[in-house]
Structure 1
Amino acid sequence: MDVCDVAGSGGIVGDRRSLGHLDGVSAGWAGLARCMEQLNSSETVSELRLEQVSVVSHLGHTRLLDRISFAVDRPGCKIGIVGASGAGKTTLLRLLNRLAEPSEGQIFWRGQPLSHYPVPSLRQQVMLVPQEPQLLGMTVEQALAYPLQLQGFPPAEVAARIERWEQRLDIPEEWRSRSALELSAGQRQWVSLARGFVAQPQLLLLDEPASSLDPGKTELLIRVLGQIGGTVAIVSHQLAMIQKLCDRILWIDRGQLRQDKTRLEMDWEEVQSVLSKKSAAAVSDWNDFD
């Protein structure tokens, strides 16, 4: 079975949780017993589920998202979200950690309505890394430490985790004392991504994560994302990155879920053709204003 068992159109597929790290033989048997209980249970709980979710503009004339339904069965799925500019991709990400609220429909996270989670608690589990990185006036070191400090981690553990991720992401030690103004656009984006990795949320939401990265950093990002165990949802116009990394593809078109397929099922030539035509049309419309 693929790591990303799914059900579209609001369906649900049985949840098989990872055993995680086993601590001794007794813990191993206990974990196995819990896993078997879930496999044999008639109750099915998805990791993430959207049911007929719509978002209407403040004026009420436009549906930014229109009756979106899909479900992700279990942790570890890498979800690519593709579509033309303005299709509703970022709006979808913002819904998942309650930076926006649905006008209609419901979102469930690990079996509970998303609205039942206090926002601070939810955002420790579901973290969004926006396209435009913000260090909030902090130095790089302070920005990396901030999400862990909010969760009450002791200073020694904060420092140790930051050091591990600095090494893994090739972040130079001299960056630590720098502010956002002392970093390039690509460096700011890399620090923002590092903050997401340091926090280790259960669901990491990435909006155009490679838009300012050079090819070398983009390849490193793909490798790291492929190694982490949590669920990741990525919005990107870089189809090559989505193809390399993601198990599951959601194609959003004018607020609707046009296709929901695995990477191998997706017709990438069709995706590229449609998105290229829409991009060209958008440029043409913009030029009409000149």
Structure 2
Amino acid sequence: MNYEDTKAQKNLLRLERVSLAAPVGSQYLLKEISFEVFPGDRLCLIGPSGAGKTSLLRLLNRLLEPTAGTIYLENQDYRKLPVIPLRRQVMLVSQEPKLLGMTVRDALAYPLVLQGVTKQVIQQQLLKWIEQLHLPEDWLGRTEVQLSQGQRQLVGIVRALMIEPKILLFDEPTSALDAGRAAYVLQVLTQLCNEGKTTVVMVNHQLDLAQMFCNRVLYLQDGQLLEDVSATQLDWANLRDRFIQAEAQAAQDWG
């Protein structure tokens, strides 16, 4: 599904002039951000460090509340939706997922246990997704300290997919995976989006993977949305140059 196809559909998420003030001082982390997310979108948030990408994901999951503006899920104001049911529909997968001291098996099942899902259905979901993502069965008895960062990332992705939310929010989900595994995970996510089973909004600094995966790109810098463009219409070489220059400038400013 390409961007032009999705634009003919009803939006799933909509942001209208959303701003987020910094916790201290008068600066804004995000400034009047407006865009729509359509069913089946594979949307990548790209921009230099400090652009506001992770803050934007946290707004979409209601871990943060906007200072100004409004976010809508299927035309319903976020502020009028109960937080827990909202997060089951719009799920954030962090770069460093935590297993809360559980084994991998228990951590994968736990969100469904909280929803009152039967053991039989949980087992079916478990078998489905560990097979789909090629999660080795011998991992299921391991705890967090027995897994590498990349292994924890893969477990976090499987845990989110087991819930089958409407929208998956990913913050650098493949940063610790080897190239082959990362490409396969993105291939699975692409297929799910194309089948209409989920929608993905992803922060990704790996532009080669972003180019392979996304159908849309939102380019952020200094808290502002500078571009919202179809991936097929984007000048990727120019984007890489801008990205490198912006990162270099940010490094100078921090220095």
**TM-score (normalised: structure 1):** 0.83
The one-letter code matched in structure 1 to 2:248 is: A
- AA of the residue aligned to 1:282: A
- SS of residue paired to 1:213: coil
Partner of 2:13: 48
Native 8 Å contact 1:53 1:103 kept in 2: yes
| Residue number in structure 2 paired with 1:25 | none
Pair 1:269 & 2:237 matched? yes
Whole-Å Cα distance in 2 between the matches of residues 283 and 52 of structure 1? 29
Distance (Å, rounded) in 1 between the aligned partners of 2:49 and 2:229: 20
Q: CA 1:56–1:220 in structure 2 vs 1: closer, same or farther (change >3 Å)?
A: same
**More deviation, 49-58/133-142:** 133-142
1:2 shift after superposition: 3.8
| Distance in 1 between residues matched to 2:35 and 2:253, nearest whole Å | 33
Maintained 8 Å contact 1:130/1:207 = yes
Q: Distance in 2 between matches of 1:248 and 1:192?
A: 24
- Would you say the 8 A contact 1:4–1:247 is kept in 2? no
Partner of 1:10: none
Identity of aligned pairs, percent? 44
Partner Cα distance (1:4, 1:97) in 2: 26
Question: C-alpha offsets along residues 150-201 of structure 1, whole Å, 9 cap, x if unaligned?
Answer: 2211001001111111111111111111000000111011111111111110
Query: Gaps (5+ residues) in structure 1?
Result: 8-12, 16-45
Structure 2: give runs of 5+ residues left out of the alignment.
none
C-alpha separation between the residues in 1 aligned to 2:151 and 2:6?
35
- Contact persistence 1:3–1:76 (CA under 8 A): no
Contact 2:40 2:199 in 1 (8 A): yes
Structure 2 residue 60 is the aligned partner of structure 1 residue 96:
yes
SS in 1 for 2:65: coil
2:176 alignment partner, SS class: coil
The match for 2:208 is 240
Return the alpha-carbon distance in structure 1 between the equivalents of residues 176 and 166 of structure 2: 25
Q: Retained in 1: the 8 A contact 2:17–2:68?
A: yes
1:89-238 alignment, distance < 5 Å: 89-228=53-192, 229-238=197-206
In the alignment, the residues of structure 1 paired with residue 204 and residue 117 of structure 2 have an alpha-carbon distance, to the nearest angstrom, of 32
**Which piece of structure 1 moves more, 179-188 or 271-280?**
271-280
- Structure 2 residue 49 is matched with structure 1 residue 80: no
Q: Distance in 1 between matches of 2:84 and 2:179?
A: 35
User: Which amino acid is the alignment partner of residue 223 of structure 2?
Assistant: G
CA distance in 1, matches of 2:210, 2:245: 19
C-alpha RMSD of the superposition: 1.6
CA spacing shift, 1:14–1:192, aligned 2, 3 Å: closer
1:258 offset after TM fit, Å?
0.3
Q: CA offset at residue 280 of structure 1?
A: 2.5
Look up the match of 1:280. 248
Contact 1:67 1:105 (C-alpha < 8 Å) held by counterparts:
yes
